[in-house]
Chain A
């Protein structure tokens, strides 16, 4: 096992990893920017090193400073969390070159699954259903137009290097197609420095269902069931739950097995999420794989009882799973609400500021993952997510009831948060009746 792990991240996920390190008896080294200086969660780390100014590029994305910190603190491994450097192939390669264990997949597996075009090829090879679309990046406009007609409108144009909804456009006919294509290319170039795009059929009113997978170094690949992340706003997840409430047992099994096939095909190690769209006929299509731990991992931890962060560390250190697929049981229903410092009245614009009153929810079935507290200043430099509320109950109805009372207990003042928006969704007739898809929030709020 590692004696020390450097956590190349901030906020709630940094704290989550510090906790896992301490439960495993590992020294946790935190890094921070000048904007996060003095944050109480840093005091829980065994060491904390300032690596740069507030700007992400100069601190949390500053590879030389992070590697140098690992060297001077004798950390043997680096946990990248999610976001920042978590899916940066260059960073994973540098870690390897410097003799540091990157707590994540091998570089080659990350490269294969991180590139959407490559991942799609891999999925087809592994007999995993994919959304009908272009085989690879599209070369020119006229070829793309022909293909769009062949697939059938509506068609989605996506950035090959994209994520989080950036570089995505939907076209409903030939006329809107060419403008959507150039817009997607331009956005992809700005956001990712790569204007390669690809086409796929736009599935109408789909659910977003993803499978949590974990692989050890001996080649054992296990799934930890699915999460339904259909409650999204502009392709950003707001609420996640497990199980997916519309999946029949047989489809669930097929879905999870498909995810495992893909991960095996990539010779993958460590945690991954395989994302699918589920159409109205309950057919599923692979869309992309995430080669990191995800924000919503606690949902899976609650329903399976496995600590995914600890297993990420164990697997990276070479430990083999001491349990099999049969041992992983799914119990009850878990729901997570992401609490963002955003103002719903101002189109969910980030709402930075100091929290002067903070009262977290508690009681049976409630878990809160957060790094904030009374007096915390929400910085405008970083992501607006400040907390995650996760509930676990026997049934979906009970879970919704627990989530509603937890959200009502949760006081964060005076900044605006998504707590009221999450409450509205929890109380919405269609959410309660489970008649939702990825367009639910945009249509109803």
Chain B
């Protein structure tokens, strides 16, 4: 009985992880035990901007959305870390880490930037907007991925100042 409760708890945790990350299928094998979980998939295609949509709303409207799992949370940025500066998106658009699909990214974690260093491109209304670091330091964290939709004020990079 106690074993069963633990398993149920584990499955619940896995479902939560799936929901958080928008995963549809998960298969876990451990010895002879096997768990296969599959969540309902909508008919409509997942929009490109699913990045900041509530995973719940994209996956299934029937899913009960708990108040704390609102989009507001996903849209907001993780808490600011001490002694790191942030580069935020000044516009709404699509984030590109590199000038063309087969080029090297403008910057990577560990890259040193000057205020004039180009860190990424954000495409809005077919216009490529070059985003500069506007600070001096080392890239500590990149919070978005190539091709991701970003909103106004979204944190793109964290920089450790010199």
Contact = CB atoms under 8 A, between A and B. Distances in A.
B72 A74 contact: no
Nearest to B58: A46
Interface in B48-77: 48-49, 52-54, 57-58, 65, 67, 70-72, 75-76
A46 B57 contact: yes
Nearest to B124: A68
Contacts, number: 85
Interface string B86-113: 0000011110000000000000000000
B59 to A, nearest CB: 11
Interface stretch (A49-57, A225-233, A253-261): A49-57
Interface stretch (A36-44, A143-151, A183-191): A36-44
Nearest to A58: B152
Given A65-B124, A73-B47, A74-B49, A42 B153 contact: no
A3 interface: yes
A42 B92 CA distance: 17
B120 interface: no
B71 A65 contact: no
B154 interface: yes
A69 B75 contact: no
A50 B49 contact: no
Contact of B154 (A3, A50, A52, A53): A50
Contact of A74 (B47, B93, B151): B47
Contacts of A43: 65, 67, 70-72
Contacts of B65: 43
A67 interface: yes
A46 B125 contact: no
A72 B72 contact: no
Contacts of A4: 47
Interface in B17-69: 44, 47-49, 52-54, 57-58, 65, 67
Interface residues of B, number: 27
A37 to B, nearest CB: 7
B48 A74 contact: yes
B151 A51 contact: yes
A319 to B, nearest CB: 20
B121 interface: no
A42 B153 CA distance: 17
A48 B72 contact: yes
Bin the interface of chain A by size. Answer: 20 to 34
Interface in A5-58: 27, 34, 37-38, 42-43, 45-53
A51 B53 CA distance: 15
B92 A65 contact: yes
B6 to A, nearest CB: 33
Contact of A72 (B44, B57, B92, B153): B92
A26 to B, nearest CB: 11
Contacts of B153: 34, 50, 53
Contacts of A413: none
B133 interface: no
Contacts of B159: none
A223 B57 CA distance: 37
A3 B93 CA distance: 20
A430 interface: no
23 contacts: A34-B153, A37-B72, A43-B65, A45-B71, A46-B54, A46-B57, A47-B54, A47-B57, A48-B75, A49-B49, A49-B52, A49-B75, A51-B151, A51-B152, A64-B125, A65-B92, A65-B124, A68-B93, A71-B124, A71-B125, A72-B49, A73-B47, A98-B125
Interface of A: 3-4, 27, 34, 37-38, 42-43, 45-53, 59, 64-65, 67-69, 71-74, 98
Closest 9 CB pairs of A and B: A68-B124, A72-B149, A43-B70, A73-B49, A50-B151, A47-B53, A74-B47, A68-B92, A49-B151
Given A49-B152, A72-B149, 19 more contacts: A37-B76, A43-B67, A43-B70, A46-B58, A47-B52, A48-B75, A49-B49, A49-B75, A49-B92, A49-B151, A50-B92, A50-B153, A52-B152, A64-B124, A67-B124, A72-B92, A74-B47, A74-B48, A74-B49
